């Protein structure tokens, strides 16, 4: 059973609904496009009446009493994001990766093989077989504690934060065969 998302970060707020919606203005619903903080999925939210949301604002969308969001309308695809939503997305993902560093360091400490030829670590942009083998070797000695620790112990490793951010972006765009961070 999937865990429910508790919080989301607003990417864009459309107080008059989507511009391509052909209904009369009095029938349109305000819409917020958001990124779930835990599962990193794109969501379409309907705010409560007379609520105005700001991009980058964090809102509660869990089971309890919601102060700003009426309901979650749907999961949306990357290509349905507005221009503002797309431009805010990478910033929100970067913020999420940096603020939840232990979650992503745990990935480096526990990642395993997908099959006989491909390892989860190799799916990160900029990490090939050589880096993957060195990460596996170094984590046998001791788990990585931070991105800084990872960079210091693995020689010539590209920036791991940027690799994760790029990977999350690729997964959100929806063209990947394997998903490491975005929940399905």
Question: Where does a domain end: 82, 117, 140?
Answer: 82
Please report where in the chains the tokens 């399905």 appear, as a residue. 184
What pLDDT does residue 1 have? 36
Q: Report the distance separating Cα 176 and Cα 123, nearest Å.
A: 10
- Total domains in the fold of the chain: 2
Pair (169, 109) in one structural domain: yes
Pair (77, 108) in one structural domain: no
* Residue 48 counted as domain residue: yes
What pLDDT does residue 184 have? 63
Question: Where does a domain end: 51, 82, 113?
Answer: 82
Q: Report whether 11 contacts 55 (CB < 8 A).
A: yes
What pLDDT does residue 96 have? 94
Q: Give pLDDT tens digits along the chain (184 positions).
A: 356 789 999 999 999 888 887 888 777 899 999 999 999 999 999 999 999 999 999 999 998 899 999 999 999 999 999 999 999 999 999 999 999 999 999 999 999 999 999 999 999 999 999 999 999 999 999 999 999 999 999 989 989 999 999 999 999 998 889 999 998 6
Question: Where does a domain end: 50, 82, 114?
Answer: 82
* Host domain of residue 154: 100-173
């Amino acid at each position: 059973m999937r865990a429910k998302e508790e919080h989301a970060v607003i990417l864009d707020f459309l107080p008059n609904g989507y511009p391509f919606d052909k209904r009369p203005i009095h029938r349109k619903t305000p819409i917020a496009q958001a990124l779930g903080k835990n599962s990193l999925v794109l969501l379409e939210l309907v705010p409560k009446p007379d609520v105005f949301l700001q991009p980058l604002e964090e809102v509660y969308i869990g089971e309890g009493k919601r102060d700003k969001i009426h309901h979650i309308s749907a999961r949306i695809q990357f290509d349905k994001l507005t221009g503002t939503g797309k431009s805010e997305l990478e910033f929100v993902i970067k913020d999420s990766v940096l603020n939840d560093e232990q979650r992503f360091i745990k990935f480096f400490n526990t990642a395993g093989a997908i099959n006989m030829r491909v390892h989860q670590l190799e799916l990160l942009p900029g990490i090939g077989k050589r880096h993957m083998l060195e990460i596996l070797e170094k984590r046998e000695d001791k788990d990585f504690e931070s991105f800084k620790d990872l960079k210091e112990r693995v020689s010539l490793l590209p920036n791991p934060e940027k690799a994760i951010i790029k990977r999350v972006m690729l997964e959100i765009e929806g063209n990947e065969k394997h998903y490491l961070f975005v929940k399905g």
